[in-house]
Amino acid sequence: MLGVERPLPLVSADGREEGLPLLPAPTEGQDVVADYRALGFTLARHPLALLRARLSADGWITAAEVAGLAHGAPLATGGIVVTRQRPGSAGGVVFVTLEDETGYVNLVVWSRIADAHRRAMLGARLLGVRGRMQREGEVRHVVVDALEDRSALLGALDARARNFR
């Protein structure tokens, strides 16, 4: 045939096996960080599920456990900050929603607490909370006594809160 060459094989048939990549597989945590970086969420385990043993050792209870507490019960918990709201009509109160692997916790942060813990209040991605449970019927929230920025535990995880005024 004129002007047509026979196709060459893609791989030589000399019996050599292809080598395995030298890169290790990513850890579960690295996969979660990559998911958050690309999508803003993950379909793998929640980031706090990976930290739960450490958080429990620090005395933090889960959102599911918070929901079961009696009115006035003291507690320590925390989570990834989902939203911060400081409506003008609320007299300086900041409302914060935290998320962990079991659900959400709604916080009421009075202005004196928000001011005393301003850096954690405004900048934390992972927020630790000490406070007490407030229940009125089915409405539950934590009235905050102290806040702590524990974002360093999240490493490179880019979990951004939505902030409203």
The tens digit of pLDDT for each residue in 73-93 reads 999 999 999 999 988 777 889
Supply the pLDDT for residue 54.
96
Mean pLDDT of 107-118: 95
Cα–Cα distance between 160 and 30 in angstroms, integer? 18
Mean pLDDT of 4-15: 71
Supply the pLDDT for residue 11.
64
Cα–Cα distance between 50 and 27 in angstroms, integer? 11
Question: Contact at 8 Å (CB) between 125 and 151?
Answer: yes
Greater confidence, 7 or 69?
69
Q: Measuring CA to CA, which residue among 96, 118, 78 is closest to residue 164?
A: 96
Q: Measuring CA to CA, which residue among 108, 74, 73 is closest to residue 92?
A: 108
1, pLDDT greater than 80: no
φ, ψ of residue 54 to 5 degrees: the values are -70, -45
φ, ψ of residue 159 to 5 degrees: the values are -105, 110
Q: What is the set of domains in the chain, with CATH numbers?
A: 28-164 (2.40.50.140)
Supply the pLDDT for residue 142.
98
Cα–Cα distance between 164 and 112 in angstroms, integer? 19
Give the number of other Cβ atoms within 10 Å of residue 11's Cβ.
Answer: 7
Write down the pTM of the prediction.
0.81
Q: pLDDT tens-digit profile of 121-158?
A: 999 999 999 999 999 888 999 999 999 999 999 999 88
Q: Exposure string (b/e) for 62-85, b if CB count within 10 Å is 16 or more?
A: bbebbeebeeeeebbbbbbbbebe
Supply the pLDDT for residue 19.
79
- Average pLDDT along the chain: 90
The token duo for 116 is 């005393």
Q: pLDDT tens-digit profile of 18-32?
A: 778 788 889 999 999
- Residue that has been written with the tokens 């939203």 in this structure: 83
